[in-house]
Structure 1
Amino acid sequence: MNTLSRSFAAAVAACLLSLTSAAPLAAQDFKVIVNSANPISDISAAALSKIFLKEAAAFPGGGSATPVDLGKSSPVRAAFSKRIIGRPVSAVDTYWQQQIFSGKDVPPAAKASDDDVIAFVKSTPGAVGYVSAAASTAGVKVVDVK
């Protein structure tokens, strides 16, 4: 292997290493929260995605679910959308435009801040939302996403 090939291989390896080491950090970008009266302690990403796309109206095991989003420009929403729904915010927005146009459903309510999401979840039985990892979640329950 010549020097140029070794340098290229080292650069590719370094890039791949940085991507794999960043993956666990992305999981810490947000916390999923529910109303404190909700009995669940964890939820699968697939079930959460169905709730936020309104393909499911209840939590696994029962109890109605009312999702609440952060605003479209929120970096926390971008992380949630990518990790949980598996699509960028723009693709989720397109999905909702199609749902609205076909008369099927409307998107979840969107709140301007973590505090607004927390207040909504705190006051709404069955509510589920997400906030930044640094947000204080007093009065609501943080659930693990499997």
Structure 2
Amino acid sequence: MILSKPGVSALVLLALLAPACSACAELAVIVNPRIGVEQLSRSQVINIFLASNREFPNGEPAVPIDLPPGTPENVQFYRALVDRAPEQMSAYWSRLVFSGKASPPLKAGGWKEVIQAVAANPRAIGYVDAEHVDPARVKAVLVLP
């Protein structure tokens, strides 16, 4: 049996765990440096992304930008932020949109689009894997595990 060879079972285990670890990356909530926000609390990010109060602390309107629903970063973001699964977030937005109370965040096609949108719009706020943050273009204001 090939798995009984020394080291092979460890490699198999490592290969199985690698995808799980990639989903454990830290996420950075990013803003445009021109907005003048140095950091945001978790509750402020919740208010912006769940449409309770879409303003930065300085009173400027915030435009949240979301990654596609169901992507690993999107799932991790809402789990870390409000402990909700994609289905729960979809139901949340369906209720708010149907009642006319709020609209969901704008959707980006991927992390590169989030960075482009935030870099281009001082009022935009998004999230990406912390490894993708480009300090020359965007500023990380909160890091989520």
Letter in 2 for 1:92: M
Shift in Å at residue 41 of structure 1? 1.5
User: What are the residue-to-residue correspondences of 1:13-32 with 2, within 5 Å?
Assistant: 28-32=25-29
Letter in 2 for 1:127: A
Classify the secondary structure of the residue corresponding to 1:61: coil
**In the aligned structure 2, how far is the partner of 1:110 from the partner of 1:31?**
17
Number of equivalenced pairs: 122
Letter in 2 for 1:140: V
TM-score with structure 2 setting the length:
0.76
Shift in Å at residue 134 of structure 1? 2.1
Contact 1:36 1:140 in 2 (8 A): yes
Letter in 2 for 1:48: V
> RMSD of the alignment, in Å?
2.0
Choose from 36, 49, 54 the match for 2:51: 54
Shift in Å at residue 29 of structure 1? 2.5
Aligned equivalent of 1:35: 32
Per-residue CA deviation, residues 67-110 of structure 1 (Å, 9 max, x unaligned), is 00000021011111011133122211110000111122221111
Shift in Å at residue 34 of structure 1? 0.1
Choose from 83, 86, 92 the match for 1:86: 83
Unmatched 5+ stretches in structure 2: 1-21
Shift in Å at residue 144 of structure 1? 2.8
Unmatched 5+ stretches in structure 1: 1-24
Letter in 1 for 2:142: D
Quick one: percent identity of the two aligned structures?
A: 34
Aligned equivalent of 1:95: 92
Contact 1:41 1:144 in 2 (8 A): no
Aligned equivalent of 1:139: 137
Letter in 1 for 2:117: F
Letter in 2 for 1:141: K
